[in-house]
Structure 1
Amino acid sequence: MVLCIPVSPWVAALMVLLSRGIQGGAPPDNHLLRALHECYAEDNRTQRYVMRCILDREEFMRFDSTVGEFRALTAMGRPWAESWNSQKEYMERRRAEVDTVCRHNYELNQGFTVKRRVQPKVHVSPSKKVALQHHGLLVCHATDFYPGNIQVRWFRNGQEETAGVVSTNLIRNGDWTFQILVMLEMTPQGGDVYTCHVEHPSLQSPITVEWKVRSDSARNKMLTGVCGLVLGLIFLAVGTTMHLRCKKAQLRAPGSP
């Protein structure tokens, strides 16, 4: 956040720095004098404004709206704080920043920040091929959601799993959305149903995504059915092609009806 800073205090500060070099008879050193302005808000009622005064890389003085005056953080900051605190009009403007800047910007931007809601997309998959009664890892991936507060839980056959749950930190996508990975260590048994349960402020009801364990026999039956379907389609295609060829041959034969 960039704010307009009264000229006189900063001009005075620069004059002090320049005078050091002039008094020494040598060109002054290069210094960087900065003022950082920060707003903290839990809601529109609870606002806090902070101004940090930094010379080069050292913060030497700070104004906090909860305190209402400048406080020196180093020996160099003491005369500055005393001087600025004695300027009544300047201090009144500084104390008003919590309303004129922080609260104003909060109300201006809350539609995009505070009130913005984007529903998560949830996908569940094993980290590798899973075999019955063998250790495995299920991954619940929630992505493209906003705001960042989200709760992801794992259930096995309707019972919440707390042991063996590992989560990444919240990952920023760089477009005002987040993602998170929550893993569950498991040893699947035949018929087990694992559920990823996601709660988020954008949702009226939780998102639940199931992952079911399939036995080898069930998998084999499914593969057999798929193979049978594919073979049936092949035979159908071959039969149709042969039928059409025979029909064309009959049409070309002499004396054919």
Structure 2
Amino acid sequence: MLRCFFATLLVFIKAQGAKHIFRELTFCRREQMESGFGLEFDGEQLWYVDPSDFQAHQRIPEFTRDWSLDKTLPSQANGSVGTCYYNIPRCTVGEKTPPEAIVPPRTLIYTKREVRLGVHNTLICLMSAFHPPPVNVYWRRNGAAVDVQDVTNTQYYSDGDSTFRLYSYLSFKPEQGDVYSCTVQHKGLQQDTTRLYEVDVLEDSQMLEMVVLVLGILLGFLGFLAGIFFIIKSKQELPAV
């Protein structure tokens, strides 16, 4: 069954000849009354409108100076979502109730910045190339659920092949030996998928020990090569009998 309806896609060219993509995405699911609306630039979400109250939120604060909020955006989102729900049954009839395309997500977990013990960082769980929404994501630290206030999920991003991406961010303070997990649920998965991240950072003393060890091995190897060289050279210099 058709579930999603894509709104306008705009492509524009800068003076230098570089191509950029500005995308407006609207999607909805009639069965669960779930919907979303967002504006994307080159794959990054600039704004999204929360369908629960149709309030606009900026996703990337760094773009504040360059991208001001269009005051009509919430009403545009409301109209686009309404159009989406209006079109679903008509598209379903027009396409003669096609089978639903189900593609499970690919998952990846990584940190936003280089990890340093005791310094706040962000873990990112990426769910990509899936269809249809939704996906559900659950974070754990050492087997226990994390504080929900430390977790932020993006709206759904769209890809050119009609699949979706979703990012989940966990704010955390790395401590040696901690193990974090990101568990993903989707109807295309036979079982939940879990990705693990273990905090394993070499401290200064450990780094020094590692450097000394490596230098010792290197010097030992160079000494071995030098010994072989002198043995061969001495044999070459022996007088013939």
TM-score (norm 2): 0.52
Rounded Cα–Cα distance in structure 1 between residues aligned with 2:240 and 2:134: 79
Aligned residue for 1:209? Answer: 195
Aligned residue for 1:144? Answer: 129
The alignment status of 1:246 with 2:230, answered yes or no, reads: yes
Shift of 1:249: 0.6
Determine if contact 2:104/2:188 at 8 Å carries over to the other structure: yes
Which structure: larger Rg?
1
Shift of 1:190: 4.8
Shift of 1:252: 1.5
Rounded Cα–Cα distance in structure 1 between residues aligned with 2:114 and 2:224: 41
Determine if contact 1:192/1:213 at 8 Å carries over to the other structure: yes
Shift of 1:244: 2.5
Residues 229, 202 of structure 1: alpha-carbon distance in 2 compared, 3 angstrom cutoff: farther
Aligned residue for 1:124? Answer: 110
Structure 2 counterpart of 1:179, from 142, 165, 170: 165
Deviation digits for residues 226-254 of structure 1 (CA, Å, limit 9, x no counterpart): 32442243124312320231122123203
Residues 128, 232 of structure 1: alpha-carbon distance in 2 compared, 3 angstrom cutoff: closer
Matches within 5 A, 1:224-235: 224=208, 226-235=210-219
Aligned residue for 1:168? Answer: 154
The alignment status of 1:219 with 2:203, answered yes or no, reads: yes
Determine if contact 1:139/1:181 at 8 Å carries over to the other structure: yes
Rounded Cα–Cα distance in structure 1 between residues aligned with 2:134 and 2:182: 17
Mind listing any 5+ residue stretches in structure 2 that lack a counterpart? 1-27, 32-85
Rounded Cα–Cα distance in structure 1 between residues aligned with 2:110 and 2:182: 7
Task: Give percent identity, aligned residues only.
Answer: 22
Rounded Cα–Cα distance in structure 1 between residues aligned with 2:235 and 2:171: 67
Q: Which amino acid aligns with 2:190?
A: Q
Deviation digits for residues 194-222 of structure 1 (CA, Å, limit 9, x no counterpart): 2211112232222222223357xx63464
Matches within 5 A, 1:62-141: 101-103=94-96, 106-107=97-98, 110=99, 114-132=100-118, 134-141=119-126
Shift of 1:163: 1.4
Q: Which amino acid aligns with 2:192?
A: P
Determine if contact 2:109/2:126 at 8 Å carries over to the other structure: yes
TM-score (norm 1): 0.49
Q: Which amino acid aligns with 1:171?
A: Y
Q: Which has the higher helix share?
A: 1
Rounded Cα–Cα distance in structure 2 between residues aligned with 1:178 and 1:241: 57
Determine if contact 2:184/2:194 at 8 Å carries over to the other structure: yes
Of structures 1 and 2, the one scoring higher in RCO (CA 8 A, sep 6+) is 2
Rounded Cα–Cα distance in structure 2 between residues aligned with 1:177 and 1:116: 10
Deviation digits for residues 5-44 of structure 1 (CA, Å, limit 9, x no counterpart): xxxxxxxxxxxxxxxxxxxxxxxxxxxxxxxxxxx9969x
Aligned residue for 1:199? Answer: 185
Shift of 1:183: 0.9
3-state SS of the aligned residue for 1:169? coil
Q: Which amino acid aligns with 1:252?
A: Q
Rounded Cα–Cα distance in structure 1 between residues aligned with 2:239 and 2:120: 73
Tell me the C-alpha RMSD between the 2 structures: 3.5
Q: Which has the higher strand share?
A: 2
Rounded Cα–Cα distance in structure 2 between residues aligned with 1:98 and 1:138: 39
Q: Which amino acid aligns with 1:148?
A: P
Mind listing any 5+ residue stretches in structure 1 that lack a counterpart? 1-39, 44-63, 66-94
Shift of 1:191: 4.2
Determine if contact 1:167/1:180 at 8 Å carries over to the other structure: yes
Rounded Cα–Cα distance in structure 2 between residues aligned with 1:98 and 1:213: 48
